[in-house]
Homo-oligomer: A and B are copies of this chain.
Amino acid sequence: MTSDLRHDLRQQKPFISLVQEAQLNLARTESVLLAGFEQLLKPHGIGATQYNVLRILRGAGAEGLGRNEIRDRLLTRMPDVTRLLDRMEKAGLVVRVRSTEDRRLVATRLTKRGRDLVDRLDEPVAAEHQRRLGHLTTAELRTLIKLLTLARQPRQSP
Q: What 1/0 flags go to A120-142 for Cβ under 8 Å of B? A: 00100110011111111010111
**Least CB distance, A114 to chain B, in whole angstroms:** 13
Chain A interface size, under 10 / 10 to 19 / 20 to 34 / 35 or more:
35 or more
Bound together, the chains give a CA A154 to CA B144 distance in angstroms of: 16
**Least CB distance, A64 to chain B, in whole angstroms:** 13
Bound together, the chains give a CA A129 to CA B151 distance in angstroms of: 11
In the complex, the count of this chain's copies comes to 2
Bound together, the chains give a CA A18 to CA B77 distance in angstroms of: 23
Bound together, the chains give a CA A145 to CA B34 distance in angstroms of: 18
Q: Is the CB of B33 within 8 A of A26?
A: yes
A21 part of interface (Cβ distance < 8 Å): yes
**The 10 nearest A-B residue pairs measured at CB:** A30-B30, A25-B148, A31-B76, A19-B133, A18-B141, A19-B129, A29-B148, A144-B147, A135-B155, A27-B75
Name A's B-contacting residues (CB within 8 A): 6-7, 10-11, 13, 15, 17-36, 58-59, 61, 75-77, 119, 122, 125-126, 129-136, 138, 140-145, 147-156
